[in-house]
Chains A and B, each alone.
Chain A
């Protein structure tokens, strides 16, 4: 087994604010890797750098052997992504959004049409396929977004909080689908989530990031033992502290929080 994602000393600074601070990790091929951390920890920023959307300040990245800054197209051919923020075209129908994506990713027509049907069925949007996306509820949009991300089967699938705003039924369905995809096609999955039970259930390896630093890595079991906790959630809290959420949040934390409120992304 070789690493399909290799990250070394990756740093991203926005002006003088360090969002990601020299992180190093790797993900084995066909693994399911969870990247966990409090709000503003730097998860989305890391994913953006891995997916060619953002230029790192320093450090190296290899996705499927390619550098996202140099072999952009080779990297883009290697992954699929479900973004944390909305990225659908509201003026198109659900089906048109899927079709657009399929063409953009060069999925052959027959396979494309077949998968679109299949996926719209799974996220229960088949009867709404010809409605404009702007008429959808938040959860429906989210479901469509996920279906779209699964349309082409890449080597690596990035899922940035795919389950926010979804009901438990859909969440279960989704994770089952992802696990199957990983088993059957060996797709590597890189996910972030704030639901610890999901991470515990789905991921084989977990990295915990806080204030731009990776504070622990390993399987859920390892993290529980390391912190002498009875659940991943408690391990997470032990590792990342309760700052921001309790009264002795440090000045820095308060500043970060304010900073976050004023920056949209």
Chain B
């Protein structure tokens, strides 16, 4: 328990000590929120009988911020490996499962905080949830997305040995995960192929879940969203732990 806590704490200390990282990772989601939110707003309203594009994009950029921060936190293992610190944790008489859990919770906490900060910014942009009663559910979904993608980052980092693969992961995994999740468009009336792809992308269930909690109804349905997110999170934690336990130094 102590071990999980100290690993969690380390992750938080490292992140909040570098202010530039916290602020830097807010930049992109906020840019999307304000530029696309206000840019597409009028057209979207005209085409949809007055519907508000903010309702689409606000949960979308929250998911985006969580996704990027979470994958990044997970992938931080590559840094630890490069700077040698990873060895220190790998030879410790502590199960690697505990190490993995501590790291993942640390990364997920940071990513969740990121999501909450972005949520606050969506207020400035004019977004208002339908009901505040569902905020705890939204928070749960925020956390699930965060754990899921931190675990994914960890799993990937466990098989990459240096930074070279990092760009590949960003361009061929993280970007598609984001753009194909419905973070920027509503899930209703999509062309069939896109509708199928969207349903394969785990982030879609996060985005849809956030919409379901903040501005119901959800398109895929909250129960489905929660089930899929929970199941994939568990699966990735298991795979991640396995890959992490095989790391050699």
Contacts and interface: CB of A to CB of B under 8 A. Distances in A.
Interface in B1-39: 2-3, 5-6, 10, 13-14, 17-18
Interface stretch (B90-98, B118-126, B206-214, B224-232): B90-98
A105 to B, nearest CB: 6
A91 interface: yes
Interface string B85-117: 111111111110000000000000000000000
Nearest to A109: B2
A95 B88 CA distance: 16
Interface in A42-89: 48, 51-55, 73, 76-77, 79, 81, 83, 85-89
B242 to A, nearest CB: 14
Interface string A101-130: 101111000000000000000000000000
A92 B80 CA distance: 13
Given A100-B10, A104-B3, A105-B92, A87 B87 contact: yes
A87 B93 contact: no
B3 A87 contact: no
A83 B87 contact: yes
Q: Indicate the member of A48, A83, A91 with the most B CB atoms within 10 Å.
A: A91
A90 interface: yes
Given A87-B85, A103-B2, A105-B93, A48 B249 contact: yes
A91 B84 contact: no
B91 A53 contact: yes
Nearest to A149: B88
B88 A91 contact: no
A54 B92 contact: no
Main secondary structure of the interface of A (DSSP, over half): loop
Interface string B58-102: 000000000000000000000000011111111111110000000
A116 to B, nearest CB: 14
A52 B89 CA distance: 12
Given A53-B248, A96-B13, A83 B6 contact: no
B93 A77 contact: yes
Interface residues of B, number: 24
Contact of B249 (A54, A89, A100): A54
A81 B92 CA distance: 10
Nearest to A93: B13
A87 B88 contact: yes
Contacts of A54: 248-249
Nearest to A53: B249
Contacts of B18: 91
Given A53-B249, A89-B85, A81 B91 contact: yes
B13 A91 contact: yes
A91 B17 contact: yes
B93 A89 contact: no
A87 B84 contact: yes
Contacts of A86: 83-84
Contacts of A55: 248
A100 B6 contact: yes
Nearest to A132: B17
B28 to A, nearest CB: 23
A133 to B, nearest CB: 10
Given A53-B90, A73-B95, 20 more contacts: A53-B87, A53-B249, A54-B249, A79-B91, A83-B84, A86-B84, A87-B86, A87-B88, A88-B84, A89-B14, A89-B83, A89-B88, A91-B14, A92-B10, A92-B14, A99-B6, A103-B6, A104-B92, A105-B93, A106-B94
User: Which 10 residue pairs across A and B have the least CB separation, nearest first?
Assistant: A77-B93, A76-B93, A87-B84, A104-B92, A103-B6, A53-B249, A91-B14, A86-B84, A87-B88, A87-B87
